[in-house]
Amino acid sequence: MAPCEYVDVPIGFKFHPSDDELLRYYLLNKVCGTPFMYSNVVPEFNLYGKKEPWDIWNDFGGQKLEKGEDLYFFTKLKLVTSKGSLVARTIGNGTWKGEDRGTMVGDPAKKNKPLGLCKRFRYENDKSDQHGRWIMHEYSLHPSLVKPHSNSNTCGGD
């Protein structure tokens, strides 16, 4: 999330969602095209583009966040090849390097039925003094919640 001056959040509210809330209320609604309250709290931005992590941080007011607050973005994954499954994770002059295979996030309201995966990535660029200093958490929905159907997505969740 960007600082409150950049988004329309009621005074006194802080955006501090749990992993399951990010998946259930934000990412699932976004992917399904379902309107939801405060959808502007998480902007769309290409995190696999030409900008460096610190430039993104500065552009979205990261320096104005309070301790423990983070920036959140919706971004589309880019495949290395059109028929492959590998994701291109370049950013600026570096790359996002996976630190783990991901942690399954369950829905506490449904006996921890899988909602999706949370993976941790670290910025790598041996030629930069910022090497290893930036962390990104990537959330993806469980395949059972988003079923490809022709050229559109059909969403479920029950």
pLDDT, tens digit (0-9, with 9 covering 90-100), for 26-55: 999 999 999 888 778 899 999 999 999 999
Spatial distance between the Cα atoms of 60 and 133, rounded to a whole number of angstroms: 18
Mean pLDDT (whole number) for 17-26: 94
* AA identity, residue 77: L
Helix H or strand E segment including 30: helix 28-32
Domains parsed from the chain with CATH numbers: 4-155 (2.170.150.80)
pLDDT at position 67 is 86
pTM for the structure as a whole: 0.85
Give the whole-angstrom CA distance, residue 93 versus residue 52.
Answer: 7
27 in helix, strand or coil? helix
Q: 108: how many CB neighbours lie within 10 A of its CB?
A: 13
User: Are the CB atoms for 72 and 32 separated by under 8 Å?
Assistant: no
